[in-house]
Amino acid sequence: MRRFWLAALLVLGVVPLSPPPAGAAISPGRFGVGDSIMLSSRDELDAYDLDVNAKVGRQFDDGLRVIHRLVEADTLPKRVVVHLGTNGWIAETSCHTLVDEVGHRRVFLVTIRVPRDWMRPNNELLRACDVAYERVHVIRWAMVSGGHPEWFADDGYHLNVDGQAAYAAYINAQMDAILASLRSSASAS
């Protein structure tokens, strides 16, 4: 139903097809770029005011291109959640490229859970990015979800209905906790 109304608004010209003009204010909100794991939880994440751009099979570099387009349009919000790496290896340079691209924004990297050879190296790369950059924070989905097989479909990594709700609630809670900790540290200095 949501797509029908969006299509109707596009046809009527109520929703512009072109990006906003350069210099438009950056949204203070939250934006998520991801693969099928994030896509399955889009509605649940929307309830926490996290806009999602996710696609089945998306690779990390494809997500970087989405972020680049939003940066170019000056519409990428101040807080960016990235859940990518489920579908293949993340290049060692991807972290640096991501941080350069997002500029002053906060980045929240979600660790992946997938029964593939690249799970551990990709998660190590995400954690190393957190250590290397002050604006980057890791949300440890792989660790937390590991104790909850009831959240997953038979393949062990796609989420069922309970997992979608748990995923969205966990991401929201972790973002809130990280941001609260940063505010507390800033006020203590």
Q: Which option is the CATH number for 26-183: 3.40.50.1220, 3.10.180.10, 3.40.50.300, 3.40.50.1110?
A: 3.40.50.1110
Please report, for residues 15, 23, 40, 102, the alpha-carbon distance to residue 167 in angstroms, rounded to integers and kept in the order given: 31, 34, 10, 24
3-class secondary structure for 30-53? EEEEECHHHHHCHHHHHCCCEEEE
pTM: 0.84
Q: What is the DSSP letter of 150?
A: G
Q: pLDDT tens digits, residue range 103-140?
A: 999 999 999 999 999 999 999 999 999 999 999 999 99
Q: pLDDT tens digits, residue range 41-85?
A: 999 999 999 999 999 999 999 999 999 999 999 999 999 999 999
Element (H, E) at 137: strand 136-139
Q: Please tell me whether residue 165 adopts helix, strand or coil conformation.
A: helix
